[in-house]
Amino acid sequence: MPSLLPRLPVIRRTAAITALIAALIAAGGFAAPLVAQQAADAVAPEAGTGTPSASAPGSGAASGGAGDVVMRPDVARALAAKAAGAPVAAREWMIAVANPAAAAAGADVLRAGGTAADAMIAAQAVLGLVEPQSSGLGGGAFLVWYDAASGAVTTLDGRETAPLAATPALFLDGSGAPLKFFDAVVGGLSVGTPGTPGLMQEAHARWGKSAWSRLFDPAITLAEQGFAVSPRLAGLIGADAERLARHPRTAAYFLPDGVPLAAGQRRDNPAYAQSLRALAARGAQAFYGGAIAQDIIDTVQNAPRAGRLAALDLAIYRVKERAPVCVPYRMYEVCGMGPPSSGALSVGQILGMLNSFDLAASGPQDAQSWRLIGDASRLAFADRGRYMADSDFVPMPVKGLVEAGYLAARAGLMGKDAQSGTRIETVEAGTPKWDHAQLWADDAAIELPSTTHISIVDGYGNALSMTSTIENAFGSRLMTAGGFLLNNEMTDFSFRSHRDGVPVANRVEPGKRPRSSMAPTIVMQGGKPVLVVGSPGGSRIIGYVAQVIVAWADWGMDVQSAIAMPHLVNRFGPYDVEAGTQAEVMIPALEAMGYEVKARDLNSGIHAIDLRGGMLRGGADPRREGVALGE
Ligand code: DON
């Protein structure tokens, strides 16, 4: 690896952090995270809220809303490993997830012989309570499953779905102009039929071993007894108080007596416990019909900017099995979620283009590596904007987009010489092979931060990668009487239905699923899983996941270092460089190549498990509160 730059003039931090940077440079690690004390980003709804410290167990700072769970030896050890920047090692099973209480619930299921599907259900139920801003019963998710017995990779689509009464004009005002983003988000209009309860049940029916009814117990207990509000949750409530106050039930829960919940404050949610009891007793049908369904509909239809979700939408909701998208990268096969997610196609396109270059030779210190990654991303995002949407509604060149010849030709646009060059001046969507012609206009749907990622390997050798969301932080800001927030996933559609008279592929249509960027991924080698990975981050998910895979596959980083590594992400706009990290040293070189560069907080939440060498090594993103637990 080339030596690191001798000084870091652009990093403006405290003396202590400057000293830490110097120590890290001396240790030779660009991989070292420097994300502590990230300033809250007032614009991003799920902003950075700092890196929880393991040095003060039980203080609330480290608890991630887990209360006493940080006193458990396994959790305390895992938090200490994370604070030290080291992966957690295990042999039998592992779970890596965004909150210690959720990790503990999943770990207990795995320890008792449950499968990865069982553990996901227990963990997801807890996440809906302690990380309500990111995912829950009122949202949707995508799941990638590796089945040890059959060797098959299966992907399940539990994406939210547009109400049957929705039209392409859903987010246009009376004059045909698109609504402002947050005018569309807050209220009933943005709510799609939730998919997460259906996905939990489908995963259990296919791959569960534990009794379904017991999997909700940890979440029910925590909801009834109360949990300690995490620093991250408290920070986000404070930053979003004005929007949360607009709906009485949401306000009463997050701003009791008008005061935002504080870190460490105990919060119970008996209504959520009731919803979970119903789900435990009667399965997902308790959600998609009856009292819970009626409450969802009432909440949506009586909200400001009333939505059009109806009983029929919930009654006909189905989880869909989709064909996995697998793209070769180096000696691996990178498998993930196809349409309606753009995740696996875009990650696969980026990696497929990078296959033409030797990134191991250039390494992470060389700005040329970031030129190649940045331009591969720009090219992928150009195709994404043109072609990618729900393939049940929009014919898509799925195979053509990741065909090796097409990607090699696109890579050719970046120049033959990996060691020198400037950015591609003008990037446009390509023309992948297609068996029939189709003309779409480019879209520009906005995605802002929330969401969570769960990676699990169970004692049977199965692997699960699931990204779960309610879209924006706190979703539509509508809380049901059942104690969970409703998503705003409909705003992942393009607000504009047409551009210059040409339809946009990702326009709203009744019963359609909005395009996602979620990229739950399982990297395979020789038919076996070697890396389980994914992240939140809106459309930056694609860049985060691609970068982790490059860091792990090409730069030989362990899983925790690859996760913690400062981010550099290009989504076909400015080159985003993670503020306050060593990545900022790349700014002058990137600017000299012609990129517009923005240093900013980049709030990933990557959770990953490396399965190579007969061991499990887990990593949790230092930008969030989670841990990896294993045995
Ligand atoms: O499905 C999507 O791509 C988005 N709704 C995900 C949102 C997200 O990841 C926000 N993350 N911080």
> What's the rounded mean pLDDT across residues 303-307?
94
The set of protein residues with a Cβ atom below 6 angstroms from ligand 1 is 46, 447, 449-451, 469, 471, 489, 492, 516-518, 536-538, 541
pLDDT of residue 65: 47
Pocket probe for ligand 1: among 450, 535, 544, the residue whose CB has the most ligand atoms within 8 Å is 450
- Count the neighbouring beta carbons within 10 Å of the beta carbon of residue 316: 12
Q: What is the residue extent of each domain of the chain?
A: 15-174+184-321+445-630
- 229, 188, 142, 195: which is closest to 468 by C-alpha? 142
> What's the rounded mean pLDDT across residues 429-445?
72
6 falls in which pLDDT band (50, 70, 90)?
Answer: very low
pLDDT, tens digit, 9 for 90 and up, residues 405-434:
999 999 999 987 777 788 998 899 998 888
Using the atom order of ligand 1, give the atom closest to the CA of residue 539. 3
Pocket probe for ligand 1: among 469, 470, 602, 625, the residue whose CB has the most ligand atoms within 8 Å is 469
Using the atom order of ligand 1, give the atom closest to the CA of residue 471. 5
Strand partners, 538: none
Residue 19 has pLDDT above 90, yes or no: no
**Which amino acid would we find at residue 427?**
V
pLDDT of residue 58: 32
70 falls in which pLDDT band (50, 70, 90)?
Answer: confident
Q: Whose CA is nearest to atom 2 of ligand 1?
A: 516
Active site residues: 451
Q: Are strands 227-228 and 88-90 parallel, antiparallel or unpaired?
A: unpaired
């209220």: which residue's tokens?
Answer: 187
pLDDT, tens digit, 9 for 90 and up, residues 221-275:
999 999 999 999 999 999 999 999 999 999 999 999 999 999 999 999 999 999 9
Length of the chain: 631
pLDDT, tens digit, 9 for 90 and up, residues 309-321:
999 999 999 999 9
Q: Are strands 88-90 and 616-620 parallel, antiparallel or unpaired?
A: antiparallel
Q: Which two tokens stand for residue 472?
A: 């924006």
pLDDT of residue 450: 76
pLDDT of residue 437: 57
pLDDT, tens digit, 9 for 90 and up, residues 192-233:
999 999 999 999 999 999 999 999 999 999 999 999 999 999
pTM tops 0.85, yes or no: yes
Look at the domain 15-174+184-321+445-630 and name its fold.
Glutamine Phosphoribosylpyrophosphate, subunit 1, domain 1 (3.60.20)
Average pLDDT along the chain: 89
Render the burial of 579-588: b for 16+ CB within 10 Å, e for the rest.
Answer: bbbbbbbbbe
Distance 205 CA to ligand 1 centre (A): 27
Residue 46 has pLDDT above 70, yes or no: no
> What's the rounded mean pLDDT across residues 370-385?
97
Between residues 2 and 332, the one the model is more confident about: 332
Q: Whose CA is nearest to atom 7 of ligand 1?
A: 538
pLDDT of residue 67: 55
Using the atom order of ligand 1, give the atom closest to the CA of residue 604. 12
Alpha-carbon distance values, 86 to 53, 451, 559, 602 (Å) = 14, 24, 8, 21
pLDDT of residue 419: 73
| Range of lowest pLDDT (129-143, 428-442, 461-475, 489-503) | 428-442
